[in-house]
Amino acid sequence: MNSVLVRILAAAAWLAIPALIGRMAIGADAGWALFAGGLLILLGYHATNLRRLLDWLARKDPGDVPEASGVWDDAFALLHRRERRLAQERQRLARLVVRYSQAGRALPDGVVILDGDDRIVWCNSKAEARFGIDGNTDVGQPITNLVRQPEFVKYLAARDYTGPAQLKTGRGAALTLSVQIIPYDDAQKLLLARDITQAERLETMRRDFVANVSHELRTPLTVLMGFLETVRELKLDPDRARNYMGMMADQASRMQHIIDDLLTLSALEVAPQPPWDRQVPMRTVLASLCADAEALSGGRHHISLDAHGDWDLLGAESEIASALRNLVTNAVRYTPEGGEIRLIWRSSDTGASFAVEDSGVGIATEHIPRLTERFYRVDSGRSRETGGTGLGLAIVKHALLRHQASLQIESEPGKGSRFTASFPARRIAAAHPSTGVVT
Ligand code: ADP
């Protein structure tokens, strides 16, 4: 500031020099006139620059700082520097805002920022999809105008946000959301919406599964206990005792089958990816499946094998054989005496399929999508009578999935069923000549 004053005074002093010369050369009046004129020019210079500064400050988009000379040049240069710093700061903040909003958009949870009156300030795309709101047009709208589920309205109004609320949204309430409000900055609120549909489904499945396993094991166990009690309490002759022992062994073996199947399922869940380089000799597998079917049928059915293509599957032989065996044994178990069972193998360089066709009891359409669920049975009595555990098709589905294969089920009640396992081209390889060609 001092230097500015010095410079202004110096300029005034410079004006005094011509004034003094004028005074000495022409006279005192001329000297004063020259000094006054100089002062006027100086004033004009400052007034012009002040005007330029005011004009520049008044502009909406000020643009570059004006250029000037002398002391004003310093002032404008300082302003220019400050302006540049502010512009850089603005850019940094703008980038930060963009980055934060990109991060907000990338969050897997729906996020809505609400003001003190519960009006929408901002939301990310997940929140748009989950609540059916529009992040552009709905800004400023009270959230309860758009999210009207009573559970949500109640949760918001209660002002107790210590825990989350659950609500169903989406078409047909297909989504379950866990909604949590986090108040911050006095009035603002952050609304987080997490999709827990899958977690809830898994939890339901887990609960059902535990209940089913307990039920499945309890039934034979109760029967077994009953027999044990009888044998212990009553004095039975050896024949009857043997009879009871046989029935007890049946129940124990039923429990054993259930546990074996459960272990198979859990082994499939934790097993590493089936190999891509192990060839499963299909000729041998098909022959063994035929033999198993014949043995189980005991001559009560007409069983045939129709196989084409000289390709093997690639993967875990035990898993593939066990999946296909389940389909074959089911066909025998659910086909009355005298019925027909066909095993059909088709393989080419585009893929392979194994189908089991039977002329058995068939399945009503509404049951078909649920057959691969654990313990799902159409007719529990028949399943148990034939030694079923209700886990066979769940094992099939799992083993096939692990080999990128799929299971198709077609059936008509009273006419029969066709279960087809289809394998993709990457899971097949030309059969080795030594393993023989299936034709
Ligand atoms: P289960 O041990 O009861 O046979 P699965 O998982 O193998 O269990 O099969 C599930 C249900 O699907 C069976 O209980 C039965 O109702 C039905 N099912 C399976 N295969 C056939 C078939 N070939 N014909 C008719 N119903 C079948």
C-alpha–C-alpha distance, residues 184 and 201, integer Å: 33
Q: What is the DSSP letter of 65?
A: P
Give SS3 for 188. strand
Give the pLDDT of residue 28: 83
DSSP 274-299: PPSS-EE-HHHHHHHHHHHHHHHHTT
Looking at domain 279-430, its CATH class is alpha beta
φ/ψ of 361, rounded to 5, equals -70, -25
Looking at residue 39, its pLDDT comes to 85
Those residues with Cβ within 8 angstroms of residue 323's Cβ, 6 or more apart along the chain or in another chain: 395, 396, 399, 400, 421
Tokens of 115: 């003001």
Distance 33 CA to ligand 1 centre (A): 120
Q: Is 258 in the pocket of ligand 1 (CB under 6 A)?
A: no
Distances 420 to 220, 324, 357, 399, 411 between C-alpha atoms, Å = 33, 9, 9, 14, 11
Closest ligand 1 atom to residue 361 Cα is 25
Determine how many CB atoms are found less than 10 A away from the CB of residue 51: 10
Task: Give the residue among 383, 329, 398 at the shortest CA–CA distance from 358.
Answer: 329
**How many angstroms does the Cα of residue 223 sit away from the middle of ligand 1?**
24
pLDDT score of 439: 40
pLDDT in the model for residue 156: 93
Q: Whose CA is nearest to atom 20 of ligand 1?
A: 330
Instruction: Copy the structure tokens of residue 82.
Output: 């400050």
Cβ of residue 301 lying under 6 Å from some atom of ligand 1: no
Residue 316 tokens read as: 């875990």
Pick one of 3.40.50.920, 3.20.20.10, 1.10.287.130, 1.20.1260.10 as the CATH number of 199-270: 1.10.287.130
**C-beta pairs of 425-428 under 8 Å, 24+ apart in sequence:** 425/349, 425/350, 425/351, 426/276, 426/314, 427/313, 427/314, 427/315, 427/351, 427/352, 427/403, 428/311, 428/312, 428/313, 428/314, 428/347, 428/349, 428/351, 428/352
What's the DSSP call for residue 366?
G
What local confidence, expressed as pLDDT, does residue 437 receive? Answer: 41
What's the fold here for domain 107-195? Beta-Lactamase (3.30.450)
Pocket test for ligand 1, best of 219, 363, 365, 418 (most atoms within 8 A of CB): 363
- The residue extents of the domains of the chain are 2-94, 107-195, 199-270, 279-430
Exposure string of 300-317, with b = 16+ CB inside 10 Å and e = fewer, is: ebebeeebebbbbbbbbb
- pLDDT tens-place string over residues 21-54: 888 888 888 888 888 888 888 889 889 989 988 8
Per-block mean pLDDT, blocks of 10 residues, the chain (439 long): 75 81 84 86 89 85 77 84 90 93 89 94 92 93 93 92 90 85 90 94 90 91 92 86 90 93 93 94 96 96 95 96 97 96 96 97 95 91 84 96 98 97 97 57
Domains 107-195 and 199-270 share a fold: no
Q: How far apart are CA 335 and CA 356, in angstroms?
A: 12
Both tokens assigned to 159: 């002002």
Helix (H, G, I), strand (E, B) or coil at 352: strand
Beta strands at 120-123 and 165-169: parallel, antiparallel or unpaired: unpaired
The CB of 329 under 6 Å from ligand 1? The reply is no
| Residue count of the chain | 439
pTM, two decimal places = 0.66
Nearest CA to ligand 1 atom 21: 330
Q: Whose CA is nearest to atom 2 of ligand 1?
A: 388
- What's at 8, amino acid-wise? I
Q: Which atom of ligand 1 is nearest to the CA of 379?
A: 16
378 Cβ inside 6 Å of ligand 1: yes
Query: Which residue has the least CA distance to atom 11 on ligand 1?
Result: 377
Among 334, 335, 400, 417, residue to substitute to test ligand 1 (most atoms within 8 Å of Cβ)? 334
pLDDT at position 435 is: 47
Q: DSSP secondary structure string, 105-165?
A: HH-SSEEEEE-TTSBEEEE-HHHHHHHT--TTTTTTSBHHHH---HHHHHHHHH---SS-E
pLDDT for residue 400: 98
Contacts 24+ apart (CB under 8 A), 407-412: 407/372, 409/363, 409/368, 409/371, 411/362, 411/363, 411/365, 411/368, 412/362
Q: Is 358 in the pocket of ligand 1 (CB under 6 A)?
A: yes
383 lines ligand 1 (CB under 6 A): yes
Residue nearest to atom 25 of ligand 1 (CA): 362
Residue 40, token pair as written in the block: 């006027």
